Homo-oligomer: A and B are copies of this chain.
Amino acid sequence: MEIDEEVCQLAKVPMFSKLDKSKLRLIAFTSEALHYQPGEILFKKGEPADSAFVVLSGEVEVLADTHGEDLVAAVRGANSLIGEMAVITTDPRSATLRARDDVEVLRIGDDVFIKLLTENPEVSLDVMRQLSSKLAESQTAYETLQDKLRASGG
């Protein structure tokens, strides 16, 4: 993808929409556009993390680590930030992520991502909003499962 084209695409991502053009160009220069086929793994739980991703198109599945078949715990669509948790905590990946369909992502290296957060409060707040929403969603999934377990007499 050409840099100018990538800058235009980045400007459409809500979490970057308030950044000026020079900052968008910097992200475009230092990031990498990647494509995944349906079923392809972006990263696996337990792996070390060296980058965060922004979903540009397609959907990515967050897989729960259960002792049986893969279970889709959540789905992240266009404009979602993924893989940011492990970069922020410097812990290994907490979940396996898999492309549900044709997926296009922007891969942002850990150093660039942390710099982006510390230098741009509006990006930082957006990341906190996304993390908070994911946490609320995870809590609701837990409560639903708890009700199901209770109903099954577990």
With A117-B124, A139-B94 as given contacts, are A85 and B145 in contact (CB-CB < 8 Å)?
no
CB distance from A143 to the nearest CB of B (A): 5
Interface centre among A65, A73, A91 (most CB of B within 10 A): A65
CB distance from A144 to the nearest CB of B (A): 9
CB distance from A8 to the nearest CB of B (A): 27
Q: Is A125 an interface residue (CB 8 A)?
A: yes
Contact bitstring A59-99, B, C-beta under 8 A = 1, else 0: 00000111110010100000000001110110100110000
Interface of A is mostly: helix
**Judging by beta carbons under 8 Å apart, are A118 and B125 in contact?**
yes
Q: Is A9 an interface residue (CB 8 A)?
A: no
Q: Is A26 an interface residue (CB 8 A)?
A: no
Q: Is A132 an interface residue (CB 8 A)?
A: yes
Contact bitstring A122-136, B, C-beta under 8 A = 1, else 0: 101101110111111
**Judging by beta carbons under 8 Å apart, are B152 and A153 in contact?**
yes
**Judging by beta carbons under 8 Å apart, are A135 and B133 in contact?**
no
Q: Which residues of A does B touch, CB under 8 Å?
A: 64-68, 71, 73, 84-86, 88-89, 91, 94-95, 114, 117-119, 121-122, 124-125, 127-129, 131-136, 138-139, 141-143, 145-154
